[in-house]
Amino acid sequence: MAKATFRITRGGKDGLKPVDYTTEVGEGMVVLDAVHQIQAESAPDLAVRWNCKAGKCGSCSAEVNGMPKLMCMTRLTDLNLDEPVTIEPMRAFPVIRDLVTDVSWNFEVKKRIKKFKPRAPDAPDGTWRMSQVDVDRVQEFRKCIECFLCQDVCHVLRDHHKHDEFIGPRFFVYTAALEMHPLDVEDRLGDLRKTDGLGYCNITKCCTKVCPENITITDNAIIPLKERVVDRFFDPLRALISKVTG
Partner 1 sequence: MKTEVQIIEHDVLVIGAGGAGLRAAIEASATGARVGLVCKSLLGKAHTVMAEGGMAASLGNVDDRDNWRVHFADTMRGGQYLNNPLMAEFHAKEAPARVNELEAWGAVFDRTKDGRILQRNFGGHRYPRLAHVGDRTGLEMIRTLQDHGIHQGIDVHMECTVVEILKEGGRVCGAFAYDRERGRFRVFKAPAIVIATGGIGRAFKITSNSWEYTGDGQALAYRAGAELMDMEFVQFHPTGMVWPPSVRGILVTEGVRGEGGVLRNKDGRRFMFDDIPENYKSSTADNEEEGWSYTQGDKNSRRPPELLTRDHVARCIVREIKAGRGSPHGGVFLDISWIKERLKNAPEHIKKKLPSMYHQFKQLAGLDITTEPMEVGPTTHYVMGGVRVDPTTQMSRVAGLFAAGESAAGLHGANRLGGNSLSDLLVFGKRAGEYAAKYAKEQKALAVNESQVEELVRKTLEPFERSGTAGAENAFVVQAALQEMMQELVGIVRTDAEMRRAIEGLKVLRQRAKKVSVEGHREFNPGWHTALELENLLTVAEAVTICALERQESRGAHFRDDFPKKSDTWSTFNLGIERGGDGEMKLSRVPLPPMTDEHKKIIAEMA
Q: Which is nearer to ligand SF4, 38 or 109 (CB)?
A: 109
| CB nearer ligand FES, residue 32 or residue 180 | 32
Residue 201 as a binder of ligand SF4 (CB under 6 A): the answer is yes
**At 121, is the secondary structure helix, strand, or coil?**
coil
Q: Which residues pair with 16 in a beta bridge?
A: 11
Under the criterion CB under 6 A, does residue 109 sit at the interface with ligand SF4?
no
The dihedral formed by the CA atoms of 205, 209, 215 and 220, expressed in degrees to the nearest 10: 20
Considering the complex, state which of residue 34 and residue 149 has its C-beta at the smaller distance from ligand SF4. Answer: 149
Question: Of 96, 146, 195, 223, which lies in the binding site for ligand SF4, with binding defined by CB under 6 A?
Answer: 146
Using the rule CB under 6 A, is 75 a contact of ligand FES? no
HSE-up (13 A, CA, CB side) for residue 134: 9
Does 53 interact with partner 1 (rule: CB under 8 A)? yes
Interface pattern 160-179 for ligand SF4 (x via CB under 6 A): ---------xx--x------
- 3-class secondary-structure state, position 236: helix
Nearer to ligand FES, 70 or 176 (CB): 70
Amino acid at 157: L
Residues 6+ apart with CB under 8 A from 169: 150, 151, 154, 201, 207, 217, 218, 221, 222
Taking CA atoms, 70 is separated from 32, 75, 130, 205, 228, in Å, by 8, 10, 34, 19, 33
If one asks whether residue 96 binds ligand FES (CB under 6 A), the answer comes out as no
Q: How far is the CB of 163 from ligand SF4 (least distance, A)?
A: 13
- Decide: is 55 part of the binding site for ligand FES (CB under 6 A): yes
Give the C-alpha separation, 60 to 44, whole Å. Answer: 17
CB of 7 to ligand FES, least distance (A): 20
State the binding partner of 92 from ligand SF4, ligand FES, partner 1, none, CB within 5 to 8 A by kind.
Answer: none
**118-124-125 Cα angle (round to 5):** 80
Residue among 46, 70, 99, 198 that touches ligand FES (CB under 6 A): 70
Q: CB burial class (10 A; 0-12, 13-18, 19+) of residue 101?
A: buried
- Interface with partner 1 (CB under 8 A): 12, 26-30, 33, 39-40, 44-59, 73, 75, 96-98, 100, 102-104, 107, 110-111, 115-116, 118, 121, 126-132, 135, 138-139, 142-146, 178, 181, 183-184
- Interface with ligand FES (CB under 6 A): 50-53, 55-60, 70, 72
